Amino acid sequence: MSEVNTPGNNHASESTMTTARIWRVFWILLAITVVEVFWGMKISHHIPYKWINAVFFLSMTFVKAGYIVAEFMHLRYEVTNMIRSVLIPLVLFIWFVVAFCMDGDSWLNLRSRYSPRDVEKAKVEAPEAPGTLK
């Protein structure tokens, strides 16, 4: 018997989304944001290596993104192959980010080696900017 899937037949979304769960995810997102901002304001300046900050912020961001996509957008409760259809193409981002950051880094090296004018321009001291923290 052919079962045409009309909207509203999707019972998976109805029983799993409760008000309590929604608010729980909200508090988690809020807590993570507060921790991130606190880190950005107070802690990040005292970290010896920049990549530690980057790893922290990016992992927190991915946790938040995961909660929004899985719970708010309900992806966790969809058919498994549907979840894969959405997530697997996003793996391309890994190559995307690595390749272009390496590209940028290579430009920096090329500039510093072959473009002394750019190197000199980058050393010009700036006057005091308007409205910034002293």
Partner 1 sequence: MATAAIATEQKWWSGGKSPYNLSYGKLMMWFFLMSDAFTFGALLISLWTTRFSLPSWPDPNQVFSSFPILGNGLPLVFVSLMTFILIMSSVTMVMAVNAGHHMDKNAAAKWMFLTIIGGLCFLGCQAWEWTHLFHEGAWWGRNPFPNRDGTVAGTGFTNYFFTVTGFHGFHVFSGVVINCVILANILKGTYDKRGHYEMIEKVGLYWHFVDLVWVFVFTCYYLL
Looking at residues 70 to 89 of the shown chain, list those that interact with partner 1 (rule: CB under 8 A).
72-74, 78-79, 81-82, 85-86, 89
Contact mark string toward partner 1, 87..126, x via CB under 8 A: --xx-xx--xx--xx-xxx-xx--xx--------xxxxxx
- Residue carrying structure tokens 């997530």: 87
Positions in 12-71 near partner 1 (CB under 8 A): 12-14, 17-19, 22-23, 25-26, 29-30, 33-34, 36-37, 39-41, 44, 53-54, 57-58, 60-61, 64-65, 68-69
Q: Residue 89 gets which letter from DSSP? A: H
Q: Which token pair is 96?
A: 């995307």
Helix (H, G, I), strand (E, B) or coil at 2: coil
Question: From the list 5, 46, 91, 114, which residue makes contact with partner 1 (rule: CB under 8 A)?
Answer: 5
Q: Which token pair is 13?
A: 């979304």
Amino acid type, 6: T
